[in-house]
Amino acid sequence: MRPVAILISGRGSNMSALIEAAAADGFPAEIALVISNRADAPGLANAEANGIKTLVIESKPFGKDRAGFEKLLQAALDEHKIEVICLAGFMRLFTAEFVQHWYGRMLNIHPSLLPSFPGLDPHGQALRAGVKISGATVHFVIPETDAGPIVMQGAVPVAPDDTSETLAARVLGVEHQIYPQALRLLATDGIKIDGDVTTSTAGVDADDSLI
């Protein structure tokens, strides 16, 4: 069972979905640690309630010293023998060196069908673009924000009267389904990075990837 760390900054609903999935018999990864870069992240309490070890490593005091923050983070990851990182609403950028170190072993989820609408306010971006379908993407992390080889996507329809809030809620439901599926795939070596894209080597067909 591969030890996984989930990194959060806030609510942690994706974290909870991963914890719940990993608690099921036969799930190929163990959520060994939850780390927040904010002491006030509401998700921390939920992780603790589920018996998961939590750590707070405040990033604010480091300001733009990303490497300084990452030194503490890496030490905690090493101490817990973490093999895979899942970013779940973790709102802090990494240095290229940290990303390179974890390349192929660090996942992120973003609430749009990447490569469309990376960065802030993805739902507002989607509504302003007038797309009729939106969704969520789990991808391997590369230095560029909200980009990288795609592991899994889930789609939802956009309703004519959607607001950012109603669309976000619909997409979030899909996020909670695809993030555990993506982690399962990674933990079973069911996905390989081939250049800038991923190839699935086991267990997923088109129906799994489009919800």
Q: Give the dihedral of Cα atoms 191, 94, 91, 105; nearest 10 deg.
A: 20
Q: List Cα–Cα distances, 193 to 90, 105, 179, 200, 210, in angstroms.
A: 23, 10, 17, 9, 20
Catalytic residue among 80, 110, 139, 176: 110
Structure tokens given for 123 = 């739902």
Establish if 181 lies at the interface with ligand GAR (CB under 6 A): no
Between 75 and 96, name the residue whose CB sits nearer to ligand GAR. Answer: 96
Active site residue 139: no
Establish if 155 lies at the interface with ligand GAR (CB under 6 A): no
What is the rounded CA–CA span in Å between residue 175 and residue 13? 9
Q: What is the DSSP string of 3-53?
A: EEEEEESS--HHHHHHHHHHTSTT-SEEEEEEEESSTT-THHHHHHHTT--
Bond from prior residue into 180 cis (ω within 30 degrees of 0) = no
Establish if 131 lies at the interface with ligand GAR (CB under 6 A): no
Establish if 13 lies at the interface with ligand GAR (CB under 6 A): yes
Q: Which stretch binds ligand GAR (CB under 6 A): 51-59, 68-76, 107-115, 186-194?
A: 107-115
| Interface with ligand GAR (CB under 6 A), residue from 2, 11, 80, 101 | 11
Establish if 92 lies at the interface with ligand GAR (CB under 6 A): no
Between 83 and 146, name the residue whose CB sits nearer to ligand GAR. Answer: 146
| Interface with ligand GAR (CB under 6 A), residue from 7, 12, 70, 149 | 12
Q: Which residues bind ligand GAR (CB under 6 A)?
A: 8, 10-14, 88-89, 109-111, 146, 172, 175
